[in-house]
Structures are given as C-alpha cells and as structure tokens.
Structure 1
Amino acid sequence: MELLKLYPWILRKGLGLLLLLLAVSAISFMLVHFSPIDPVQAYVGADMMKVSPEQREAIVQYWGLHDPPLVRYWHWLRALASGDLGTSMIYRRPVLEVIGERFAASLALMGAAWLLSGLIGFVSGVLAAMNRNKWVDTCIRWYCYTLSSTPTFWIGLLLMLVFAVWLGILPVGLAVPAGTTSDQVHFIDRIRHMILPVLTLSVTGIAAIALHTREKLIDVTEKEYWLFARARGEQGFTLFWRHGLRNVALPAITLQFASFSELFGGAVLAEQVFSYPGLGQAAVEAGLRGDIPLLMGVVLCSALFVYVGNAMADLSYRWIDPRMKEGSRL
C-alpha cells in the first residue's frame, strides 16, 4: 500500500526530470553553438596546420557542423533516445564510457565529502547551540564564518602546501601513484590520494550545515515544550535526543541534499587543483577544447545528479516525519 501511494509522486518526479533534462540540454546546446571555440580546431588539436582544406571539410561533414543548430539538436536528441551520447572529441571514445569511468571516481570523492561535511556540520551545529555564547559556540562560529568566505581552490592549495609539500605525508595529486599500472594500485593508495580532495570539499561544506543547525536548535530551545522538559530535570544529550533531534533533522537534511549542486561545483575546482581524474576535470577539458558531445553528456549527468539529490530529500522527509506524507493531516 505504501508503494502504491508513491506511484503518483514517482510519475511527477519522472516528468519533472524529463522536462528539466530537455530544458538544460537545449540551453546548453545553444550556448555551445554561440561559443567562440572552433570545434574543428578543438578536435584536431596541435596538428591543425597539417590539416588540408579537404580534410577540414570532411571533419565538418562528419560532425554535421554545416547543419542548422535545431537540426543538429534534433539529431542529438534522436541519438540520445537510443542511448547514444556520441563520441568524445578529446578521448576518441564513447561519451557514456568516459562519463561512467570519470563519474565513478567523482562519486567516491563527492560521497565521502558529502557524508563527512554533513555529519561534522550537524554535530558542530548541535554543540554550538547547546553551548550557546560559550567558548565552544564562539570557536565553531569563527570557523564557519571563516570557511564560508574562503574559495574552494584556495583551501585545496593550502592543504596541498601543508600536508603534501611541507609535511610530505600525503600525495600531491592524481588518483593513483604516478607511473603505476592498474593492477599495481592498491586500495590504500586510492584512499591516500582521495584524502586531500575530500578534505577540501568537506571543510568548506561544514559551515552552512553547522550554522543552519545552530539557528534551528536555538529556536527549539526557546519553545515551551523544551523549557518544560528542562523544568522536569531533563538535560544534555537526553534532552536533545527527545525534543530537539527531529525538529532540526529535517532542515539539516533539506540543506544537505540541496548542496548537491554546490558539491558538484566544488568538485570541479578540487579536481582541477589536485589533477584528480573525475567528472569535473572532464567537464573543464570539454569546455575549453570544444568537446560538444562530452560537454553535453556531463551537463545531463550533473543535472540528473542534482535532481536525484532533491528527490532523495523528499523521500527522507516521509521517513523522518510522517506528517510530510501526502494526505496526512496535522
């Protein structure tokens, strides 16, 4: 019965996702069309001077660059409907293959940073609110205000300078040790190369969730039921667990899932700083070198990633607070 009630919600979300992907792809396709980057030169690269006019014309014909933008977009949509996103100009491989390989690396990076920033941010916000105007609250707020105004790439460079250059305890960049084959890479090596990018993403994401949780919990501590519980002798963790957790969990989850877009944007910068071979780095390369098929694939993947995050937030509401279910009455 519970699954049947979710069918209308799933249909609405599916239709919304389809319309979103159509709008995002159309806008992105037009922006790429008006871009000053020459796709033929981006495709050929440094050998552009060796390409004859006949060869250039053959490349233009192969990619259909003489066709109007709407015609090329329609052909791209037809190919997309059959599961074909085209071939990457940079990597000379199917776009789906490149995205699958890069997204797996980015997903591990973003997932670890998302969990770490959410847990530390929520706990920090609770500690700050429970110790309002004390030294713990002051330190947490100082940290949040400082980090929220600090660019992600600067944090990455600072962490690299301290832990990789000065202390030498962590690798400078990349996802695996340089000069090693895939069969020689151990799981510990991958973890060590992920530490600095994950820290870069997480330390900047802690501030928003911590400050938001602090303010929400302070509002809760001024409610009558909280004051009545304190008058009965409840205090500390027991008081928060019984009367504060659910009231601050929903806003925290909302903000955390809404940060998917910021997380992806931060991953682009972090992957560039640490030369981490993820989807963000592929997006930058595709944009700079005019790889239209790969860029369109990355745009769709990022839009899907953010939309799924918001949908997961809606499902979390139903699990945490039954009053959020459709048809329920307060």
Structure 2
Amino acid sequence: MGKGFLKFLLLKGIRMVTLLVAICFISFLLIKNSPIDPIQAYIGADLLKVGPEQRELIAKYWGLDQPLMVQFFNWGSAIVQGDLGTSMIYRLPVADIISERFINSLALMISAWILSGLIGFIMGVIAALKKGTWIDRLIKWYCFTLASTPTFWMGLLLLIVFAVWLGWFPIGMGVPAGVLAEDVTLADRIKHLILPALTLSIVGVANIALHTRQKLLDVLASDYVLFARARGEHGFILFWRHGLRNVALPAITLQFAAFSELFGGVVLAEQVFSYPGLGQATVEAGLKGDVPLLLGLVIFSTLFVFVGNLLADIIYRILDPRMREGRLK
C-alpha cells in the first residue's frame, strides 16, 4: 500500500501543478482582456485630478506598461518565490488579505458544509427507507426544487423574511456596525453567521440527499439485504447493520467533492449578506480590475477545491479496502 499511495500522491501533485498553471494563465488572459481599466479603478473618484503623465507613472509602478507575456512571467516568478503581490485596491499584501478573509469564509463554509452534509444524508436515508410514501415524495420535491434554486435568491428570501420582516437576525455584515473589534463577542459573530450558513445549507442538501437515497435503495435491493430481511431484520436496524457503511462512503466522497460548488455559493452568499470573506473580496477585485488580488484568490480557491477532492479520495481509499489495490488514480 505504501508504494501505491506514494504513486497516487505523486500523480495528484502533477495534476495540481498543471491545473494551477493552466488556470493562472487563462485567468490572467481573461483579466487582461476585460473591459475594466485597472488604472482607472485604482484612481477611483480622483480620476479627473490625474493627468496622462501620472497615469503613465501608475502603469509603470504596477508594471502595466509592459507586454502581456512579460507581465505574466514577472508575476509567475514572484509567485514561485512566495510573493502574491500587493492589492491595488487595498494597498496591502495579497497574502495578508487572503489570510484575513479566509478565516471568515472558513467559518461560513465549515458551518454550511457540516449542516448540509448531515441534513442531506439524514433526508436521503429517510426517503429511501420510506420509499413510495408521502415522506419520500416530499423530500424528492424539496430536493428537486432546491437543485434549481439560485443561492442569491435563497439568500435574499431568508434576508427579507428573517432579517427585515421578523427582525430575528442582522441584515448583513460579519459583525455589528459601529462596534470596535475588541468589543465584538463570539455570540455577535455567530448571529451574523447564521443566515449565510443557513442559505448555503438549504441549497446544498439536494445533491447529497438524492445521491444517498439512490445508493441506499440499491443496497436495500441487494441479495445480502434480502437475506437479512428473511432473518427478520428490518427498519433502522437493517440500515445500521448493512446499509450505513455502503451509503456513507459515497456520501463522504460527494460531500468533499462539493467544495467547488460550496466555494461558488459562498461568493454569492457573501455578496447578498455583505459578509467580509473571500467571496466579497473576489467580486471587488473583479469589478475593480485588481489583477494581483484576483489571481491570488484564483490560486487559493483552486488549491482549496483540489485539497478537498484529494481528502475525499484519501478517505475513500482508507475506508474502502478495495481501493487499496492500486485502482485509485
């Protein structure tokens, strides 16, 4: 297993490097060919006070006056040395901005990820055990409806109902407005986190619930389960003894693989709730042409999604002995 596992990690590492290079190059080209002028976005409201000579100096300072490929290789060389550059809109190192914003986004993603996984798995199990009943039809209708529901629409709906009409939760942001950082309590942060996390959880349960339902139905139709039924086992005991492991493995893999969708949903949810995370920083960097920050976020999000998929493969390999024979590549 040792050599096979090392080979598996080596292949994954090669794929990660090639993926990063390709994504960085494509993202760089897309940003450079966008209609947004980074110099104009950098100047902001003082555009009329800045003359052509000053614009040239700004372009030279940020290296925007050089050919496209020269800019890309200069940026790539700095990345190899561990320098993500300086944000044009925040005037801070990109690494510092990502590390600060990632803490907020990580709390949101973990909360939504755990809730959607547990709720989706339980709903899928109940739907399979109650196949053909009104409970099964209700869960399927719920999942099919949510699968086509945009994250921002669900966020706006929850915001209107629970923040505007009922007033149970704050309208937005990650902390109370006008409160000093040292005076913000954990309860305040959790209260601002609930609605964004609930938005992502409600939308994210559909795939895991439908997938778990179908897998459990396949398990319940297998020969060894039919034999267990003949011995008198039924209901939850039957699921616990014969269905849990076979259903949990695919569910774990699917949940880890959902990191990419979760990260995309975070971008929309953070915009709706003005939550200060990576998603909001990504939108601001894209709208204002902040090339260093946007590319740094692209690299980070790619690594984040790739690591999530890698963890899913490793967990599947550990839990399922059949995957230790070198078939996982």
1:324 and 2:323 matched: yes
1:262 and 2:271 matched: no
* Gap runs ≥5 in structure 1: none
SS of structure 1 residue aligned to 2:325 = coil
Distance in 1 of aligned mates of 2:257 and 2:317: 17
Map of 1:223 onto structure 2: 222
Map of 1:29 onto structure 2: 28
Aligned letter for 1:148? Answer: A
Map of 2:234 onto structure 1: 235
Asked if structure 1 preserves the Cα contact closer than 8 Å seen for 2:270 and 2:276, the reply is yes
Distance in 1 of aligned mates of 2:171 and 2:32: 37
Asked if structure 2 preserves the Cα contact closer than 8 Å seen for 1:164 and 1:172, the reply is yes
Map of 1:194 onto structure 2: 193
Alpha-carbon RMSD across the aligned residues, in angstroms, is 1.4
Map of 2:107 onto structure 1: 108
Structure 1 residue 254, shift from structure 2 partner? 2.2
1:292 and 2:291 matched: yes
Distance 1:327 1:61, change over 3 A: closer
Aligned letter for 1:8? Answer: K
Map of 2:10 onto structure 1: 11
> Greater shift after overlay, 288-297 or 156-165?
156-165
Map of 1:78 onto structure 2: 77
Distance in 1 of aligned mates of 2:33 and 2:296: 18
Map of 1:45 onto structure 2: 44
Aligned letter for 2:105? Answer: S
Structure 1 residue 164, shift from structure 2 partner? 0.8
Map of 1:177 onto structure 2: 176
Distance in 1 of aligned mates of 2:263 and 2:279: 7
1:55 and 2:62 matched: no
Structure 1 residue 5, shift from structure 2 partner? 5.0
Structure 1 residue 4, shift from structure 2 partner? 6.0
Structure 1 residue 215, shift from structure 2 partner? 1.0
Map of 2:94 onto structure 1: 95
CA offset digits 1:239-290 (Å, max 9, x no partner)? 1122111221222122212211110111011000000000001000000000
Distance in 2 of aligned mates of 1:43 and 1:84: 21
Distance in 1 of aligned mates of 2:164 and 2:256: 34
CA offset digits 1:54-105 (Å, max 9, x no partner)? 1111011111112111111100011011111111011110000001111111
Structure 1 residue 16, shift from structure 2 partner? 1.5
Distance in 2 of aligned mates of 1:325 and 1:203: 35
SS of structure 2 residue aligned to 1:215 = helix
Distance in 2 of aligned mates of 1:261 and 1:327: 26
Which 4+ stretches in 1 moved above 6 angstroms? none
Distance 1:305 1:327, change over 3 A: closer
CA offset digits 1:35-67 (Å, max 9, x no partner)? 111111011111111012211110111111121
CA offset digits 1:14-51 (Å, max 9, x no partner)? 22211111111000001111111111101111111101
Identity over aligned residues, as a percent? 64
Distance in 1 of aligned mates of 2:237 and 2:2: 34
Distance in 1 of aligned mates of 2:169 and 2:192: 7
Distance in 2 of aligned mates of 1:216 and 1:318: 19
SS of structure 2 residue aligned to 1:244 = helix
Aligned letter for 1:278? Answer: G
Map of 2:145 onto structure 1: 146
Structure 1 residue 327, shift from structure 2 partner? 4.1
Structure 1 residue 7, shift from structure 2 partner? 2.4
SS of structure 1 residue aligned to 2:144 = helix
Asked if structure 2 preserves the Cα contact closer than 8 Å seen for 1:246 and 1:320, the reply is no
> Greater shift after overlay, 158-167 or 181-190?
158-167
Distance in 1 of aligned mates of 2:211 and 2:3: 35
Structure 1 residue 135, shift from structure 2 partner? 2.0
Distance in 1 of aligned mates of 2:29 and 2:156: 35
Aligned letter for 1:151? Answer: P
* Gap runs ≥5 in structure 2: none
Asked if structure 1 preserves the Cα contact closer than 8 Å seen for 2:4 and 2:326, the reply is no
TM-score by length of 2: 0.97
